[in-house]
Structure 1
């Protein structure tokens, strides 16, 4: 595996970091909002956020004196998807079938 892939899986290895990612799926959140959900110290959450950011799984932006975090969905999907495609090639076919499904009905879209 590449160093990039290793950093993603290292970031996903801890339950607190996985929970942070799940919480960010609903949208951007301030560092304080994220920290308030956990019973660990602020510096511990900061380290988790730093590791997630270093792996490219979240992004941050400053808004005055606040740091806002967002999920980097594409990076997460590509990293995990590439790994699955390598160890489980049938995932490539399943992904293509899902991509072709109609959004409302679930029917497979007709390709011209």
Structure 2
């Protein structure tokens, strides 16, 4: 996955809020939807963008899909930004 996909995914405030929710713990899609006033389909699209960018992972358990942060990608971005800054 390209860094531009990751940076694009981070530009949307709803996606950033999803990442903040997942910072606490992994969550099902239904639990994520409860935190927003947009449709489940809209949240599903946001989750797809985050997954395509490598920012989250999903795991199916029975009839539920659980999402969690993929901190590896975030660490790579932070390292790149630190290097860009000259640290």
1:54 aligns with 2:52: yes
Higher-Rg structure is: 1
The residue aligned with 1:93 is none
Structure 1: gaps of 5 or more residues: 91-112
1:26-60: CA deviation from partner (whole Å, max 9, x where unpaired): 11100000011000000000000000000000000
Question: For 1:15, which of 9, 13, 16 is the aligned residue?
Answer: 13
Structure 2: gaps of 5 or more residues: none
Secondary structure of the residue aligned to 1:60 is: strand
Instruction: Give me the TM-score of the superposition, normalised by structure 1.
Output: 0.73
Instruction: Give me the TM-score of the superposition, normalised by structure 2.
Output: 0.93
Aligned CA RMSD, in angstroms, stands at: 1.2
- TM-superposed deviation, 1:80: 3.2
Residue pairs, 1:11-90, within 5 angstroms? 11-82=9-80, 84-90=81-87
Question: Deviation above 2 Å: which 4+ runs of structure 1?
Answer: none
Bigger drift between 73-82 and 41-50 goes to 73-82
